[in-house]
Structure 1
């Protein structure tokens, strides 16, 4: 399937200076001790983060499995069986004739039914003559990289979410402080108006208006407290713990903001985003899957070998005369299962197009 043309990225961001900006870590940006502690705790204890680490481990295990598929397998084997050959079968006639031979001793006579005992090693090796297994390993490698990029992207998002909620808490604290000061002023104003009404210089309507304004301010105060509880719960959820009070430094709201922020060049900034890199690795993995699906139509060369003890009498199994070894090479090609291989190829191509569109979407989102 031909890949569609990619959307060209703009040369620079809209109305933003394109001068490059040095990459900074979150510790150099968020310098408050309380926020530093919260972010470190979230990166360590967040449950989604722990799940992401396990996904990286799974991807690494899949990569090792795909590498192992390129190597021969060796396994120990102990088996026993029993065969009953008919009079008109090749083995049946051969065994019957062999038992009458003068060249064999009593231990070499073949019983009927015929037991078959084996103890030794068996090996099998699929030769990757077309590169099918190599492409599967390549796909697993890119998916491993994709999982690491995805984990890095979530770390970035988690850091931003914790910082955003932390500063939202500080802003709510500042609003709550202002409301408390307003309530104090309104209480003093209400006392003055009530004194004026007692002296006949103000009406009961003025007193009611002051009380209504104070009640409205008190209502906003309760709303702010509810908002603080909600944000603290969200922050505790990111920290992977049950709700508890969040310690914060309210003086952080007075820190100066940067006078100018350089966005950098789109090609340098966006392509370094972990989410874009994750989508890129998924696209590479899908491309390798398409190649492996195409090569699945080609014949497969398999080599099988065994070595060990093989006898038809159990007491003679481990005698020197029971040592045996064998080697077999086979070339097989799919015939009746080509329909399933065609569907697998269609799925791989559709997955590749999906990964391409997701990569384009990640570029646009990043811009």
Structure 2
């Protein structure tokens, strides 16, 4: 048995040859810097920016609370975590194939043989008992087992990166759903205020009609405005309820928090993102990390396919005790051992091995294309986010000025109508313009905030020192 262990150790020293192609990360199929132009802000270049955790990026306490609950209860994230654990076990299974397997075996048999088979006139009973310790090991001289282990490791790491991607997407989805809920709450509140204004105007118009001052047309127009606002009010009530249901699905439980009495979708809800970074920051995005691990795994599979062309060497040994009497099984002189090395060399496989190698190389090329496509998509998403950042601020500022002008227009139109200078049609137009301006400002602010959240997600949720190996 000692000789067997010594021979195994010497063979292990010879093992370790790998036929996995030398890995080189593909060049970035995008520009080194982000797009520039009228739609983009001019920001100074930054280097070594510290990663920005989501707790620091989202400043709203209620939103942070919802995200924390979602990270604990969301079922999609739970599935992703379980997938990581399952892939880890698969890697452990594959890793075990590279180590010797030990087994303890015990057996016994008693056989009755008829007299005719014994060659005499008497029958006989033969007994045989054994207790052995066996060792089996495939010597990985050409790296087939090691390549499969590397592939399993890369698959595990890819699944782990996928789990981080699900987490980042979940955080962004909860934030955007929360912001939409808040925006629709604000629109509902604005619609209620506008409906109150329309109803007040209808009452005044009704009194004017009753005394013969207002016309039937003006009264009808006032009623039309009221019913239009009531229709919008019902629509926003529905959207608020649906937003709450969508948020509950993401969070994984009933949403117990309530929106604040006065909702303000200000930019102070989010922290400032450092965007003056080189485009290679994308290499830290979980989906790109996942794609690169998949590419590494495909390269490892090529090594296993190459090694299949070479001999496979296995060592099998058993040592123990054997006797024809159970009472003598462990007595002196009953020692038993068996050493049976084997070698298998493929000679003819009808092209199967070559086809397997060709397939592995094609899959590697597919993974390269997928890796490059993921980088291009990430670059496009960040570029869109930067364009949104560079334009939404101007758009929101212009909409605020439009809202202020619409408020002045409404006040002037109301005074002129009450004094008999202008018709009710002008007042109604001023009311509708004011309502539309308020709605558009809320929507513009929502779009501005969600674009920042999308940019946070496009950057991978954090950035800074490169961690991808």
Same fold by TM-score greater than 0.5: yes
How far the C-alpha of 1:294 sits from its partner, in A, is 1.3
The one of 172, 179, 186 aligned to 2:191? 179
The one of 308, 314, 338 aligned to 1:326? 338
1:131 aligns with 2:131: no
Q: Distance in 2 between matches of 1:260 and 1:49?
A: 25
Distance 1:245 1:330, change over 3 A: same
1:248 aligns with 2:259: yes
How far the C-alpha of 1:309 sits from its partner, in A, is 2.5
Which residues of 2 match residues 312-351 of structure 1 at below 5 A? 312-314=324-326, 316-335=328-347, 337=349, 339-351=351-363
RMSD of equivalent CA atoms = 3.0
Q: Are the aligned partners of 1:66 and 1:137 in contact in 2 as well (CA < 8 Å)?
A: yes
Aligned partner of residue 253 in structure 1, secondary structure? coil
Aligned partner of residue 340 in structure 2, secondary structure? strand
Q: Distance in 2 between matches of 1:247 and 1:338?
A: 69
Distance 1:330 1:13, change over 3 A: same
Q: Deviations over 1:160-212 (max 9, x none)?
A: 11111111111111111110000000010000000000010112222222111
Q: Distance in 1 between matches of 2:355 and 2:326?
A: 49
Partner of 2:106: 78
1:215 aligns with 2:230: no
Q: Deviations over 1:11-32 (max 9, x none)?
A: 2110254622442011111021
Partner of 2:80: 52
With 330-339 and 50-59 compared, the bigger mean Cα shift is at 330-339
**How many residue pairs were aligned?**
344
Q: Are the aligned partners of 1:72 and 1:124 in contact in 2 as well (CA < 8 Å)?
A: yes
Partner of 2:241: 229
The one of 31, 34, 39 aligned to 1:10? 31
Partner of 1:35: 63
Which residues of 2 match residues 289-300 of structure 1 at below 5 A? 289-300=301-312
How far the C-alpha of 1:227 sits from its partner, in A, is 1.3
Which residues of 2 match residues 259-278 of structure 1 at below 5 A? 262-267=275-280, 269-278=281-290
Partner of 1:89: none
1:152 aligns with 2:178: no
Q: Distance in 2 between matches of 1:76 and 1:4?
A: 47
Distance 1:53 1:338, change over 3 A: farther
Q: Distance in 2 between matches of 1:252 and 1:209?
A: 32
Q: Are the aligned partners of 1:232 and 1:246 in contact in 2 as well (CA < 8 Å)?
A: no
How far the C-alpha of 1:84 sits from its partner, in A, is 10
Distance 1:281 1:204, change over 3 A: same
Distance 1:18 1:147, change over 3 A: farther
**Structure 1, unpaired ranges of 5+:** 86-91, 100-110
With 118-127 and 347-356 compared, the bigger mean Cα shift is at 347-356
**Structure 2, unpaired ranges of 5+:** 1-20, 380-469
The one of 288, 293, 299 aligned to 1:281? 293
Distance 1:171 1:351, change over 3 A: same
Q: Distance in 2 between matches of 1:127 and 1:26?
A: 49
TM-score, length-scaled by structure 2: 0.67
